[in-house]
Structure 1
Amino acid sequence: MTAHGFQRVDFLTTLRRVAEGLPDDTPTPFVLVTPAPGSSEEPDLGAWDLGGGSADASQLQEPAPEAVAGLRTDSGGTTGDGGDNSRDVLTVAFTTSGSTGMPKLAAHGEADTIHHMQSAAAQVGFRPGDLMVEPLPYSGVFGYVAGMVALFGGAGVLIQPVFEPEVLLRAWAAERGTHYVGGDDMLARLREVWASSREDLSSWRWTGIGDFQGMSEEIAAWAAAEFGTRSVGVYGSSEVFALTSFWTLDGDVEPRVGGGGHLVADDYAYRIADPATEEEMPDGERGELQLRGRNVVTSYLGDAGEGKKAFSDDGWFRTGDLAEAVDGQTYAYICRIGDVLRLKGFMVDPAEIEMHLATHPEVIIAKVVGRADAAGETEAVAFVVTTPGATVTSEGLQAYTKAELARYKVPSEVRIVEDMPTTAGTNGRKIRTVTLREWANEPVAEGAGS
């Protein structure tokens, strides 16, 4: 059984349940679908019929007991020793390699899923008539959660079978879309097309943005300047749901467009722990973000025990992400722990170097990885995509970092490349740091360029 099969059944089934269960004075949720590629129909196709023609929930068969690796014991799920304390039917699963690096399906129970959607919807704060624009695939956790959160908030959802920016922008303007959740890569493509089409997106009020390409700040600034849109950074994964936290606009903490934010439910908890000892870090120090609550994966399907490695001995989910505490329910995501560079004894977030390089007027995007030098110590190597016709050299960019950054943060080498290696996923395109590390260890002529 594929993850897509799970979500196809659950998404349509839950749509009907939402439509049937809302109070009489609540607007009926609806889904608008843009035309399939090659269609001559106008983009405003009207409401999806939630009452029929969709998949039968009976098609979702319960997995065999031996295929379920029991993990959670706090609310539903199964115990770690295989004993069953389930109060919740598994209803959705997302593909993930998670913090163990092994491919598997992260499954969540129905009651936990509904709890998360209701909690996140309350934090977003939808109004009557709102419309979520969500072109991400519903086989991925961000597309699925964003769409469901909107429906549980009484809003509609505009979806698209295949991402076509021109068609989506026309539908967005025609249907007066108010909300959007997605990565900065997809938003960058929409911005590029909008520069020519100039569709009226003045209805766009709120965006939850994933910083996949390091462009969140400039995308947020563009949306604010052109449409008055407020953008906030979001955090989530297949194991803990998308939108498990995001920066709120009306809280005591200044909202940010980086990952992290305020946990959407009071019964969700986090801690910042030493990844080696599991001990909680003192206030102000960075460590691994660990989560506990009903948002955390109930079971891994088709897993031979690897999933248990993602949990601490006392039951906290190890995200594999570096973060720092802001307050009791709010944290700031820094980067993946595997991306942290130890340079001259200092723990350095490569994003700090990347963001500085990106301020150069001839740099479009920068990515920094580590490699071992002749003495076996880690050194930083930067890969940069420059603007068309740029005259800046690798040496010039290295000098640019020396002028502002601490000496140990200056890349030992800067390579100018035509494009970043990327991989397409259900949540958007991501830069392949594994490939960049391979390039960093190859001679320039055989690798990424110079």
Structure 2
Amino acid sequence: MAFDLLESGDADLVALHHGARTITRGELRLASQRAASLLHELGVRRGDAVAVWLPDGGVWLQLLFAAAQLGVLMVPISTRFKLQEARHVIDTAKARVLIVPQRFLDFDYTGAGREMQANGAGLQHVVEVSQFDGFEWNAYEPYPGWEGRDTDLLCTFTTSGTTGRPKLAVHTAGGIARHACNVGRINDMHMRDVALCALPLYGVLGFVQAIAALASGASCVLLPVFKAEAAAALIEQYRVTHFFGSDAMLDMVLHAGDFSLATWRRGAFAEYAGLGQRVIEKAWSMWGVRLTGLYGMSECFAMTALRDPAGDSHQRGLPGGSPVSPEILFRVVDPVTGAVLPDRQHGELQLSGYNIMAGYLNNPAATTQAFTADGWFRTGDLAYADGGAFCYLARIRDSLRLRGYLVDPVEIETFLTQHPGVESAQVVGVHLDGEGDVAVAFVCHSNTPATEPELLAYCKQGIAGFKVPRRILPVDSFPQQEGPNGVKILKNVLREMAAQSLGLAQTLSATREINHEAS
């Protein structure tokens, strides 16, 4: 399966909308061939790595297709990264070329690139881009021929790095192309549909939805800096049919103001902020959109699995789902013995298929640890199987072992939010010597707040004793961080807060640490 997703279809079909610019598939293809000529002139050859530190735009995609044409690895860097973070990615990838914007977000990308070039042995060229919404290098002749192969390493995605420095999960051209086609098919994407791409392309969810749209003959509306009102206005202006993101992002768009979202037909979300059921109900009641949960990570692509949009609101909101292709297999195993578990029993989710990364770039030790002896990818996620689908529960390191019982913190969180005094809740664990894990809850109060003794009494009356939190602490908001796929609640910060509430100097790990990360 060739990655050249622009080769088929009408060259006059719109590929991208960015600001006032409209770009056709034919224009994107020609621009990519010109970018391939630039890279070749700089000495880039098959197997080399090119780092792209750019905002979303025509140039970003121009370089992706140029890399595919040459058999070159593209290494995207988050535009939110600063010098040391970007240096780590470039050094890990051993990139020979870095492409940067002259101006974006009041940060001197060019200066940072020049400093890395001066101090690093491998980086040979820093190429400045004057504008990123259109195309660059128009004076170059198109590069002749197609040298790329399905087995070429084409693109990396940075892992979250919550227990160490981020790793680069690398995927092949063939795997990306196959997944793009499958995601487009499962989401009913067709020629002349329109996808709002409001997540950054350097993140796996933003990347997958954009490439799936192009593979389906649909167009992408790019929004490099997300603002809810701007997103809602673009949905109305371009008659957007597909929109994917985090639960918080979709919630903000649904509450953005007096905009028509009537053309929005399909969407799915990763639930990071506990707003899944709210966005499902709001999208259905206002616009008749049947939103679903999704599952994915850097190592296995976003939208590896999706919930059935025909299900009821509760089923559609469950994280996980059925794989988007029969080529993607899953199993749930006992984290200690490795034995495959029957349906409904909790264990580690493991995956196999074309969607799995080729490995962590230039990190063979981490790659070896990420796979079982029989070749399955260890997700590090707690889940259970349910027929042909699976349900994601938590990261294994976020699950709790309370008096010998493995407990999903979401179960306690859900129970707490049923109390009229609680708007939202997060539960983490702290390990106490001689006692084991204990649960600590953090709650955002509703308009009728409840005291800690009241909430503890409520828990003692309604859930098993071993699940009752040791403390239930009020907070104005949960610590959060904006990542490439949306806003995530920082469980590690909550663990520190929980440890301090119990009089500990530092957080002691509540769960088994694993040696690979999900994004």
> What interval of TM-score do these two structures reach, taking the shorter chain for normalisation?
0.7 to 0.9
2:411 aligns with: 352
Contact 2:210 2:220 in 1 (8 A): yes
Check the 8 A contact 1:385/1:417 in 2, yes or no.
yes
1:282: Cα distance to partner? 2.7
Distance 1:161 1:350 in 2: 34
Match of 1:245 in 2: 305
- Which residue matches 2:293? 233
Q: Does residue 174 of the first structure (1) align with residue 237 of the second (2)?
A: yes
Counterpart of 2:466 in structure 1 is 408
Which residue of the partner structure matches residue 126 of structure 1? 189
Q: Secondary structure at the match of 2:267?
A: strand
Residue 120 of structure 2 aligns with which residue? none
* Residue of 360, 365, 369 corresponding to 1:305: 365
Q: Take 1:359 and 1:186, find their aligned partners in 2: how far apart are those partners?
A: 24
Partner of residue 31 from structure 1, selected from 7, 11, 16? 16
| Structure 1 residue aligned with 2:128 | none
* Aligned partner (choices 370, 380, 399) of residue 439 of structure 2: 380
Structure 1 contact 19–28 (Cα < 8 Å) conserved: no
Name the CA distance, whole Å, in 1 between partners of 2:30 and 2:261.
33
1:61-72 correspondence to structure 2 within 5 Å: 62-63=46-47
Deviations 1:308-340 (A, max 9, x none): 10000111000001111122x421111111111
Q: 2:391 aligns with which of 326, 329, 332?
A: 332
Which of 114, 118, 141 aligns to 2:204? It is 141
Amino acid at match of 2:208: V
- Structure 1 counterpart of 2:260, from 195, 200, 205: 200
For the aligned residue pairs, the C-alpha RMSD in angstroms reads 2.9
Cα deviation for residue 158 of structure 1 reads 1.5
Contact 1:100-1:306 within 8 A present in 2 as well: no
Q: C-alpha distance in 1, partners of 2:193/2:48? A: 41
Deviation at 1:109, TM superposition (A): 0.7
Q: Counterpart of 1:38?
A: none
Deviations for 1:33-53, whole angstroms, at most 9, x for unmatched residues? 2x4xxxxxxxx6434642444
Query: What pairs up with 1:252-263 in 2 under 5 angstroms?
Result: 255-263=315-323
**CA spacing shift, 1:272–1:251, aligned 2, 3 Å:** same
Offset, 1:261? 0.9
Change in Cα spacing, 1:188 to 1:149, as seen in structure 2 (3 Å) is same
What is the deviation of 1:410? 1.7
1:115 to 178, 181, 186: 178
Q: 2:5 maps to which residue?
A: 18
Deviations 1:408-427 (A, max 9, x none): 22212101011211122111
Tell me how far apart the structure 2 counterparts of residues 106 and 313 of structure 1 sit (CA, whole Å).
19
How far did 1:64 drift? 6.7
With over 3 angstroms needed to count, the CA separation of the structure-2 counterparts of 1:330 and 1:287, relative to structure 1, is same
Give the Cα separation in 2 of the matches to 1:220 and 1:147. Answer: 22
Secondary structure of 1:256's counterpart equals helix
Partner SS, residue 21 of structure 1 = coil
- Mark the CA change 1:127 to 1:51 in structure 2 (over 3 Å): closer, same or farther: closer
**Offset at residue 446 of structure 1 (A):** 11
Q: TM-score, normalised by structure 2?
A: 0.71
Q: Residue 83 of structure 1 corresponds to which residue in structure 2?
A: none
Q: Which of the numbers 424, 443, 453 marks the counterpart of 1:395?
A: 453
Change (3 A) 1:45 1:255: farther
Offset at 1:188? 2.5
CA contact (8 A) 1:104 1:302 kept: no
Deviation, 1:279, is 1.8
| 2:222 corresponds to | 159
Rounded to whole Å, the distance in 2 between the matches of 1:105 and 1:420 is 28
Contact 1:369 1:437 in 2 (8 A): yes
Contact 1:29 1:151 in 2 (8 A): no
- Please report the TM-score for the alignment, with normalisation by the length of structure 1: 0.81
* CA drift at 1:136: 0.3
Separation in 1 of the partners of 2:503 and 2:337?
43
1:80 equivalent in structure 2: none
**Aligned with residue 483 of structure 2, among 407, 418, 425:** 425
Q: CA deviation at 1:123?
A: 1.1
SS in 1 for 2:234: helix
Give the CA deviation at 1:374: 6.4
- Name segments (4+ residues, structure 1) moved above 6 Å: 251-254, 444-447
Structure 1 residues 300 and 439: alpha-carbon distance in aligned structure 2, compared to 1, 3 A threshold: same
CA contact (8 A) 1:125 1:153 kept: no
2:35 is aligned, of 45, 53, 56, to: 56
CA distance in 1, matches of 2:161, 2:357: 11
Instruction: Please list every run of 5 or more consecutive structure 1 residues that lacks an aligned counterpart in the other structure.
Output: 1-12, 36-43, 66-85
Q: Relative to structure 1, is the Cα distance of residues 252 and 403 closer, same or farther in structure 2, using a 3 angstrom cutoff?
A: closer
Asked if structure 1 preserves the Cα contact closer than 8 Å seen for 2:197 and 2:210, the reply is yes
350 and 443 in structure 1: CA distance in 2 versus 1, 3 angstrom threshold: closer
Distance 1:218 1:46, change over 3 A: same
Matched length: 397
Task: Give the match for residue 22 of structure 2.
Answer: 46
Structure showing greater relative contact order (alpha-carbon pairs closer than 8 Å, 6 or more residues apart): 1
Q: Secondary structure at the match of 1:437?
A: helix
Which residue of structure 2 aligns with residue 438 of structure 1?
496
User: How has the CA–CA distance of structure 1 residues 62 and 309 changed in structure 2, closer, same or farther, with 3 Å as cutoff?
Assistant: farther
Cα separation, 2, equivalents of 1:123 and 1:292: 19
Q: Which amino acid aligns with 1:157?
A: C
Q: Which string of whole-angstrom CA distances, capped at 9 and with x for unpartnered residues, describes residues 260-310 of structure 1?
A: 111111121111111222221133312111111110001321315222100
Match of 1:89 in 2: 152
Structure 1 residues 444 and 348, CA gap change in structure 2 (3 angstroms): closer
Between the aligned residues of both structures, percent identity stands at: 35
What are the superposed Cα offsets for residues 196-236 of structure 1, whole Å, 9 maximum, x if unpaired?
Answer: x2211111222111111111111111111111110111111
How many angstroms apart in 1 are the aligned matches of 2:215 and 2:316?
25
Pair 1:365-2:424 in alignment:
yes
1:41-86 alpha-carbon deviations (Å, 9 max, x no partner): xxx6434642444572464755579xxxxxxxxxxxxxxxxxxxx9
* Residues 326 and 139 of structure 1, relative CA distance in 2, 3 Å threshold: same
* Residue aligned with 2:244, SS: strand
